[in-house]
Amino acid sequence: MQEKGISQAVIGRLPRYLRYLGELKENGVERVSSQELSTLMGVTASQIRQDFNNFGGFGQQGYGYNVDFLFTEISKILGLDREYNFVIIGAGNLGSALGNYLNFERRGFIFKGIFDKNPELVGKDVRGVKVKHINDLEDFLRNNAIDIAVLTIPKTGATLLVDTLVENGIRAIWNFAHVDLDVPEGVQVENVHLSDSLMKLSYNISRYDREKK
């Protein structure tokens, strides 16, 4: 499978394909045409074909796509054919909400620990995982195979923590702190800013209003 040069835009669309294919699978659907998928997802059939062609097609002329096969292949491309252990740093509103979200496990992301600097939060239960003090983080990382750190703390703390995370085996950071992190090569960072998504919404509201005038 040739993956070189695949745009981040295509990669960004794969989770959505996976979600729809997962639903088809659950409903017992065995095959789907690009036209059917297009109607279901509200994207053009040619976009779907183009996207899948990046990975060698997956489809068969006159048959369409085998849902199970396509689901498995896209899962593999997204690295979802294995499990990832994650810890959350910051057991406040956002950290606790993420820890309480069950569906990450369904995709193979396993919630292993949650840490905070506030001693009052230590021992608090987040879906069966007890909050530990941040001072225990290093030991925990050394003794457990953790792949991903989720940062739900303010930006100063996040910047200071990066070295500790990387030196103790963290391979990826899901970064909710509003700061760009400096990491060595080979460590992946995905920045999440919910307000970016909200701004897209406000852009679309105002664009609609402008066009109607």
* 177 near ligand NAI (CB under 6 A): yes
Side-chain-facing half-sphere of 104: CA atoms under 13 Å: 18
Shortest CB 22 distance to ligand NAI, Å: 25
Q: Tell me: does residue 59 bind ligand NAI (CB under 6 A).
A: no
Kindly give, in sequence order, each residue whose CB lies less than 8 Å from that of residue 24, ignoring residues fewer than 6 positions away.
32, 67
Cross-strand bridge partners of residue 189:
173
Can you read off the two tokens belonging to residue 196? 């970016």
Contact 152, 88 (CB under 8 A): yes
Q: Which is nearer to ligand NAI, 135 or 144 (CB)?
A: 135
Strand-pairing partners, residue 190, are 174
Q: Is 22 an interacting residue with respect to ligand NAI (CB under 6 A)?
A: no
Segment 134 to 153, residues that bind ligand NAI, using CB under 6 A: 134, 152-153
Of the ranges 2-10, 26-34, 117-125, 164-172, which one interacts with ligand NAI (CB under 6 A)? 117-125
Centroid of chain to Cα 122: 27
The answer to the question of residue 118 lying near ligand NAI (CB under 6 A) is yes
Residue with Cβ nearer ligand NAI (24 or 126): 126
Contact mark string toward ligand NAI, 60..99, x via CB under 6 A: -----------------------------xxxxxxx----
* Residue 76 to residue 107: CA distance in whole angstroms: 12
Alpha-carbon torsion (75, 77, 78, 83), positive or negative: positive
Phi, psi of 195 (to 5 degrees): -65, -25
Please report how close the Cβ of residue 181 comes to ligand NAI at its closest, in angstroms.
Answer: 13
* Angstrom distance (rounded) from CA 156 to CA 196: 21
Query: Would you count residue 193 as binding ligand NAI (CB under 6 A)?
Result: yes
Whole-number minimum distance, CB 131 to ligand NAI, in Å? 9
Kindly tell me the burial class for residue 117, based on how many C-beta atoms sit within 10 Å of its own C-beta (0-12, 13-18, 19 or more).
middle
- Our CB check for ligand NAI shows the closer of 10 and 94 to be 94
Residue 114 engages ligand NAI in binding (rule: CB under 6 A):
no
Q: What does the binding site for ligand NAI look like in residue numbers (CB under 6 A)?
A: 89-95, 115-118, 121, 134, 152-154, 157, 176-178, 192-194
